[in-house]
Amino acid sequence: MIVGERKPIEEILEMTKQYEKLYVAGCGSCVTVCLAGGEKEVGILSTALNIAAKKDGRELKIIEGTIERQCEKEWVREMKNQVKESDAVLSMACGIGVQVVAELYPEKPVFPALNTTLMGYPTQHAIWLENCRACGDCILHLTGGICPVSRCAKQLMNGPCGGSQNGKCEIDPEIECAWALIYDKLKATNRLDWMSEIQPPKRWDLAGSGGPRKTIKEEEVIA
CATH of the domain at 114: 3.40.50.2300
Q: How far apart are alpha carbons 117 and 94 in whole angstroms? A: 9
Q: How far apart are alpha carbons 202 and 31 in whole angstroms? A: 31
Please give the DSSP secondary-structure letter assigned to residue 99.
Answer: H
Burial 1-40 (b: 16+ CB within 10 A, else e): ebbbbbbeeeebeebbeebeebbbbbbbbbbbebbbbbee
- Same domain? For 193 and 144 the reply is yes
pTM listed for this prediction: 0.83
Q: What's residue 29's pLDDT?
A: 95
Residue 117, SS3? strand
Task: Determine, yes or no, domain membership for 222.
Answer: no
Task: Determine, yes or no, domain membership for 63.
Answer: yes
Amino acid letter for position 25: A
Task: Determine, yes or no, domain membership for 181.
Answer: yes
Q: Which domain holds residue 103?
A: 2-118
Assess whether the previous peptide bond of 160 is cis (omega < 30° from 0): yes
Q: Write the burial class of residue 198 (CB in 10 Å: 0-12 exposed, 13-18 middle, 19+ buried).
A: exposed
Q: What's residue 213's pLDDT?
A: 59
List Cβ neighbours of 20 (8 Å cut-off, separation of 6 or more).
Answer: 58, 59, 60, 61, 87
Q: What pLDDT tens digit does each residue of the chain (223 aa) get?
A: 999 999 999 999 999 999 999 999 999 999 999 999 999 999 999 999 999 999 999 999 999 999 999 999 999 999 999 999 999 999 999 999 999 999 999 999 999 999 999 999 888 888 998 999 888 888 999 999 999 999 999 999 998 999 999 999 999 999 999 999 999 999 999 999 988 889 888 877 776 555 665 667 677 777 6
- Same domain? For 178 and 113 the reply is no
- Same domain? For 94 and 139 the reply is no
Q: What's residue 24's pLDDT?
A: 98
How crowded is the C-beta side of 35, counted as CA atoms within 13 Å? 7
Torsion, Cα 46 48 53 54, to 10 degrees, reads 110
- Same domain? For 103 and 136 the reply is no
Please give the DSSP secondary-structure letter assigned to residue 169.
Answer: -
